[in-house]
Amino acid sequence: AQSVTQLDSQVPVFEEAPVELRCNYSSSVSVYLFWYVQYPNQGLQLLLKYLSGSTLVKGINGFEAEFNKSQTSFHLRKPSVHISDTAEYFCAVAERTSYDKVIFGPGTSLSVIP
């Protein structure tokens, strides 16, 4: 069964600085990968996804992620963060053999400091 690790529970970063949120997964088969964002007191919104093809995936709000199969990672990056990026970020994985089962990581809380 698949699992997801997000090693950084909290990431503080100054406004306009770059940020990387780490995600590693465990699976014995090929996977689909996702990043979601949750703003305070709101639901989840899809940022980006990797299904196949190019390993560099661009999403909304200037975020991008790179799938690295050898390191089983799918780290999220943004070159310059804004105050409005303060939110909880979740990585998720679905195995291609049982792609109905989508498992989430514990989340990373990004705080952007003015």
Partner 1 sequence: NAGVTQTPKFQVLKTGQSMTLQCAQDMNHNSMYWYRQDPGMGLRLIYYSASEGTTDKGEVPNGYNVSRLNKREFSLRLESAAPSQTSVYFCASIIRQGRYEQYFGPGTRLTVT
By CB under 8 A, name the binding residues for partner 1: 6, 9, 32, 34, 43-44, 46, 49, 51, 90, 92, 94, 99-107
Q: Which is nearer to partner 1, 50 or 112 (CB)?
A: 50
Q: Which is nearer to partner 1, 13 or 36 (CB)?
A: 36
Do residues 65 and 59 lie in contact, with contact meaning Cβ atoms separated by under 8 Å? yes
Using the minimum distance from each CB to partner 1, give the nearer residue, 43 or 114. Answer: 43
| Contact criterion met (CB below 8 Å) for 57 and 48 | yes
Please state the closest distance from residue 56 (CB atom) to partner 1, in A.
Answer: 18
For residue 91, the minimal CB distance to partner 1 (Å) is 9
Q: Which is nearer to partner 1, 81 or 107 (CB)?
A: 107
Shortest distance, position 94 Cβ to partner 1, whole Å:
8
21 vs 2: CA distance, rounded Å: 20
Degrees, nearest 5: CA angle 45-43-72: 45
- Residue 55 structure tokens: 């390993």
- In the complex, the smallest distance separating the C-beta of residue 59 from partner 1, rounded to whole angstroms, is 12
Amino acid at 5: T
Query: Whole-angstrom Cα distance, residue 34 to residue 86?
Result: 19
